[in-house]
Structure 1
């Protein structure tokens, strides 16, 4: 018996980890197209010891998926590598948006909900009261855009100043296209059932069923006691995929790098994976963690219906610019700021890395550009130098930073973030039904399907293995 895991990103590595622990006597092979594992997670250490992150840099400890990741870290022996950002630190409390030509700190306490605070024209609690009186609306096909949902329940300012920038920060997406189920599935479903979010939450509280208490892991207990907001690692986020790689290799998983796959035949009890060099890999099951758009053409010959659905999944491209200045430049400590899309800038947001993880007498920033606006401001011929100049121009405008960076790195990441547009959940149901109805030896995990965050892709891998 053997299994193949396609894709060596975080989800593929996690699938290999869970797979070899569940099936210790089976042959498990991880197949990766590039010359390294880890996918988009990449931490680049500079000569001065600072770390530039290419994509994600922090992980949230909360929720089912967060608890699962903490358990994984505990098993990998990474507890001593964790560097948390505490909930009472400026990096956790001060999250800003740039809108109407100015930076604004978002309300960050219960008391601030009852005060008028720019850019909002009234205290936040009044927007949420709007949900109580807003008309009930039954949505066709049981899905709508996140922007539309928030706009009709809480008002345009919440949609423009909170939700739209947040979606840009999470996935580089357009809230007017992203499905409400991407971030607010439970709230949306309660609203559809009870007529308002408020009534739905009240009903949920009154009808809440008792569940057996779960004993938190040692690392969860530490995160709760120390009040972690988010966390990373001493040597950057790539610590996690590196630890997974080391662990699965020690347990006998084979990692095949630089593998170009031409076609995949998926049957009920077997799969055949054809390389472009003519050789064939055979296994009794395939777990694919690669992007849906990359998997689609590989299945086209034998499963055109499935291939067609996968080919409709959307992605966004990003430019990431890491900057280091050998002096303190920020006037306000915080996690960073996001740019409201209505500002019509190529910049999506800036993370204050040196505030989250302090560096003595220096300022480290990460600027994110493009996303759903990538094709408006960039193209195939855009150079790293042009991206850097655009980032510096926007930093000058928003943060009044005119200094040239002492060190920098520009990464242009094409088609790097899946976009869960309206109808995404319906596509997932169609795919799951097709795989189940045909009894195919194929499982899917990764950012294309069940969440784009670090916690999400790890949990999706675990569930794929658990269901085998």
Structure 2
């Protein structure tokens, strides 16, 4: 297909940056404009190194801190790293590391190590009373008939699924904690089919999650083939380096990916406009004009948005956005406070990735509404030149933002780790506090059907010239965002049109 004459990309987080990068490689003669309302690129990704004086320095992340190499999104991340020559900056944590094997939940007033394999279950049951519901949960899953899918729009919440298949204790004490850690959300408000499609497939195909996992019926042949095809083009040295990796990061944090993308776009056909908020977008025939608050107006034949469409102030013939599903454009996005506490090397009662806190943990044991604690110094110790104990406390989410005072938020985090982890953690040598407003969308039951409706609306109203990408639509992980951006450019290249939602139109 002939390349687009011009493209405007709204939002320069990881999704918009990746879309611009792939677009400049496939369409070197196309005028591409990338608009970002803030004065920096990268969106929620933000890494900084803080000086600790005699203790050296510490790397602090206020957004994503580690990445996963698995799945299509993971393969595309590695492909991006390969193309950007970032291999020498990689740090990995192996599948046998404590960060990979040791994960905990805090309930009701103590730390419970989750079993990392079937063989580890008996020992976990002996040590932790909270986990003694696991055998009954497995039996319940094996003996409970599947809920038959009556039509494509059938969906339920993550909480409903776990409660139905595994029982109340697993839903309240474990599943809710996992959702706190991934989405900073309430599991009762999150779509099972969209957030955990594998679990849905296992039940539908095998009648049981456990039975389906043993049979391997959740594997999607097309996804696996696509992943293998992407991996086949990655350099042998990078493939070897990631062979046993559970998670990975970079020496100077996830922001190195942003910096490398920005560098790759320099001296290309991409014009980057920072501190340039979009005021509105108008449409005339087959062209869109992006009007900014700085007075700049740019006309393009194609538009790619990584922000919710209503935020673009669409006017004229673009105002059909009110016909798109409200559930896509008005997703709940809780506030999350990220507090990083840095200490001289301090012994902890556990080692591993960290712990999560379920909603069933009594308020007396979790008075500040913490969602969990990441032990950064166990997950990626190589990022700091001297041995440190570095913890990140996540507050808020479904518990709400209880104060906006930075000093109070810091003290709430300190109180949390001294209460739940160790009394020796009362005096950090450094700390950072970052309130992330409306940062992670909660995809409600029915989100997949809403995406399918949006796909058809974009086709009928915009004929594939307006596409959407990124976390407001297709997934919150960095790998999800990178995949979304890659797909929309590939589709534009092969067909000349794209909505960014083609992958979901036939999903069940």
Normalised to the residue count of structure 2, the TM-score between the two structures is 0.85
Among 418, 442, 463, the residue aligned to 2:466:
442
Question: How far, CA to CA, are the matches of 2:204 and 2:309 in structure 1?
Answer: 30
Q: Which of 409, 416, 441 pairs up with 1:394?
A: 416
Say how many residue pairs are matched.
462
RMSD: 2.5
In structure 2, C-alpha distance between the alignment counterparts of 1:267 and 1:339, rounded to whole Å: 52
Residue 396 of structure 2: aligned partner:
370
**For residues 105 and 376 of structure 2, what CA distance do their matches in structure 1 show?**
16
Aligned to 2:500: none
Distance in 2 (alpha carbons) for counterparts of 1:411 and 1:25: 40
- Name the CA distance, whole Å, in 2 between partners of 1:232 and 1:62: 14
Shift of 1:267: 6.0
In structure 2, relative to structure 1, the CA distance for the partners of 1:348 and 1:267 (3 Å cut) is farther
The residue aligned with 2:340 is 322
Alignment partner for residue 102 of structure 1, among 98, 110, 117?
A: 110
Query: What stretches of structure 1 of length at least 5 have no aligned partner?
Result: none
Q: Which moved more, 1:168-177 or 1:151-160?
A: 151-160
Q: Deviations over 1:93-114 (max 9, x none)?
A: 1111101110111101331134
Q: Does 1:142 align with 2:154?
A: yes
Please give the per-residue CA displacement for 1:208-252, whole angstroms capped at 9, x wherever unaligned: 869866463236632453x11101000111000110010012323
Contact 1:91-1:333 at 8 Å conserved across structures: yes
Tell me if the contact between 1:97 and 1:106 (Cα under 8 Å) persists in the aligned partners: yes
Alignment check: 8 A CA contact 2:82 2:238 kept? no
Q: Which runs of 5+ in 2 are unaligned?
A: 493-508
Corresponding residue to 2:351 among 333, 337, 340 = 333
**Superposition deviation, residue 137 in structure 1:** 2.7
- Kindly tell me: are residues 351 and 207 of structure 1, through their superposed partners in 2, closer, same or farther at Cα, counting changes over 3 Å? closer
Instruction: Mark the CA change 1:108 to 1:205 in structure 2 (over 3 Å): closer, same or farther.
Output: closer
1:34-89 Cα deviation digits (max 9, x unpaired): 11101110001112331110111000011111011101100000001000011111
- Kept in 1, the 8 Å contact 2:327–2:447? The answer is no
- 1:237 matched to which residue of 2? 254
Q: Is the 8 A contact 2:36 2:275 kept in 1?
A: yes
How many angstroms does 1:425 deviate by?
1.3
Where does 1:54-69 land on structure 2 (aligned, <5 Å)? Answer: 54-69=62-77
User: For residues 69-108 of structure 1, what are the structure 2 equivalents within 5 Å?
Assistant: 69-108=77-116
Provide closer, same or farther for how the CA distance between residues 44 and 2 of structure 1 changes in structure 2, counting only shifts above 3 A.
same
Alignment partner of 1:38 out of 39, 42, 66: 42
For residues 301-320 of structure 1, the C-alpha deviation after alignment (integer angstroms, 9 at most, x for no partner) is 72232385543222111101
Q: Structure 1 residues 265 and 219 mapped into 2: Cα distance closer, same or farther (>3 Å)?
A: farther
**Alpha-carbon distance between aligned partners in 2 of 1:244 and 1:298, rounded to the nearest angstrom:** 29
What is the 5 A alignment of 1:119-134? Answer: 119-122=129-132, 124=134, 126-134=136-144
1:29 aligns with 2:51: no
